Structure 1
Amino acid sequence: MEIEIATIGGYEEVGRQMTAVRAGDDIVVFDMGLNLSKVLIHDNVQTEGMHSLDLIDMGAIPDDRVMADLDGEVKAIVPTHGHLDHIGAITKLGHRYDAPIVASPFTLELVREEIEDEDKFDLQNDLVAMDAGDSMEIGNGLELEFVNVTHSIIDAINPVLHTPEGAIVYGLDKRLDHTPVIGDPIDMKRFREIGREGEGVLCYIEDCTNAGRKGRTPSEQVARKEVRDVLYSMEDYKGGIVATTFSSQIARVTSLVEYAKEIGREPILLGRSMEQYSGTAQRLGIVDFPEDLKMYGYRHDINNTFERVMNEGKENFLPIVTGHQGEPRAMLTRMGRGETPYQLDEGDKVIFSARVIPEPTNVGQRYQSEQLLGMQGARIYDDVHVSGHLSQEGHYTMLDTLQPQHIVPAHQNLSARASYVDLASSQGYRLGRDLHATSNGDTIQLV
């Protein structure tokens, strides 16, 4: 069976992930993501109402026109998890393919909400939920399997396409977390089985975000302890405390909510995406927030909440807000610009329970946000966080576990992927033979 991989997006940047695997006459597409930095550059861009070609031209979504060169039919669109750099382009590109969108339940619900918000295209693709550990037949003689992984969002999976020539493991995004705060540990037992059954692993497509970072990525339990330590250090502070994190980081939000209550403050979730992700997780029964936890996504409700906080005393509350990357319209950025009823005073604490995404736009906007907050007297608590991506020891472990015949590094630009190339080379892989450094729009013929 002929096996061909099209590296469509995410091979020259962090974001707009999209990869297609053709096995015989059947094609499976993994991820259709948004490049958030390209959107953030344009403060007034509303992607919901934009045409796909305009978004392709500005580099915001994958240029999927290379798909016309693949001699086959798309049988499934498979997002790995619910981050926008993996699902944000489905509403712009998914309608071009007569194929179901297959995802884990939480991811699928986020895709459904994206489709409901879409203004330009009427997406009619079937939505199919599949749990980690399950599999389904795809096309002619292929099987799609979901293996449970741990990431900075719940319900993440690594899809595996089983072919007569061996397995294609799409390895974006994960860390080796054996003690997650929410959900099951990464299923290393199943990965090891896949590496040793049948024809083994033909190809491993790997996220190399932290490939240059020594050691291993800590568990989310470590971040949870850091959150507790930071908040307890502020237990006696009588001013304002504000926290921000990835809206999709439900485990982190859970920790912030829990420890806010323990130090005698009422947590409130503020911002559209904060309400979306946490509200969805609560509706699906994945997380059990306190019954009295308030979530507000609309500007009017948020301003009313801030007025209540100022009237009743900042020392009684802990707002958990959007804006960890300094996004121009996010709640924390607006607070730094003095555009909300919440007034920051000298000595107030702002906790960034998130790391800056390594893109120039994000770095610049986060710097500006911190400067604005500091000018109002806020004191910044930076990087109360652990990454959702493998570091070097995790990569060594995955290579030993899967023993792939071929490797395709992804999820970074070429210079950042060089660290992974060095790492894989030290394990006997050779560039141009079985280690494939590629670009957006390329195809790799494996069989």
Structure 2
Amino acid sequence: MKNLRGIKAGTRDIDVVFLLLLGVVATFSLEKLNPILIVSLFVAQMGLMLLRKQGVDFETTRYLWLLMALFLLGPIGLLYTDNIPRGFDMIGRQVSFLLFPLFYCVYRIKRIELLFKVYCTSILLLVFLFEIDTLYRFFYKSDTFPLTLDLFLSYRYTGSNLTTLLEMHNAYFGMYILFANVLLLDYLRTVRSISKFVVVLIVVCVQSLFLFQMIAKTALVLNTLLVLGSIIYILVAQKKMKLLLFSAIVIIAAVFLSQTFLKLPIERIKDRFEELGQGQDADRETRIKLWNAAVPIIKENAFIGVGTGDVEDELHKSYRSKGVQSKSNVHNQYLDYLLGYGAVGLLVFLGVLAGALYHAMKTANYTYFCFTLIIMGCCFTENILSRQWGITFYACFNYLLFLNAKKD
């Protein structure tokens, strides 16, 4: 009887809204489908609230208002921008900053473990899908022969070309893999079965090797620190020395395979770091050159920035004046907030990150702590909150993790 009640309770925890939320977290990589599911999610929640005619139990936190301030930077910045259409486009992209926190204020997630399982499963499936597509293109679409390992690991089949099936930016997918690895490592902290531990560890290694193929430099650095640090901490804390030895063997084997079979990706990673070290003297247009081009704009608009819609226009003018041919963004989220909203905007953004980090440390919550570190690290090399891939990922998980952060 007790088990039956448990099943019924678990069934009640899964409704239409929750199913749509599962669809959202499983489709971050699908740029066309994901927005449809997000809209459906909010419409379904509003519809159910109206049908039930129940009072809204709206719970707020101080951190919620900080997130609202982050979103309001866009509308406020629109008041002093010249490129109004561009400004409205940016506000439209970032509306998730407003909607997801408000959604979690009225909808309580009771099956967060299931949500994370669906997310991790979707990432692993995408890793295999991208790999299979790459192998198919290599064996059946290649016009270069012979089909050697060096050719397979060339630029045509690694880096951003590894995820061309969904036209997914490798830096963002690297961020997704990072968080999936964190969730898997968090699961390792509670698993008692050795066989399950081994399977999960192998999955983490497979996804980490995929990061090497993608040449996602920031994700690789963060992944190395988080995975190695977490495994050592978990196994030492649990006094599982045999599993620690096994994990060391698996990791050493993964490193050996990388050194032996992934030489070209490793060389490309080394080249990119060397170019960053050369700074302005590098032949390629590195991020250092892009960042230096942003400095004059920041100095001239230090307090409130250039506004929501004028960042790229001003940045591209500065690029041309410095002989930079790139038409991309500044590839640094901190500098992007400085450009758009000045010191005020940067302080709000840093406040959001600091609030999350403080809450994660206060509750000693491993998952939220690592999630925040991933976002902070990725913000150094990408404008992750300027693209749908990054905005929905951050907005969907950040406040959810904040509300569910409890001492482990």
TM-score range, shorter chain: under 0.3
Structure with more helix by fraction: 2
Q: How does the TM-score come out when normalised to structure 2?
A: 0.28
Q: Which structure carries more relative contact order (alpha carbon 8 Å, separation 6+)?
A: 2
Structure with more strand by fraction: 1
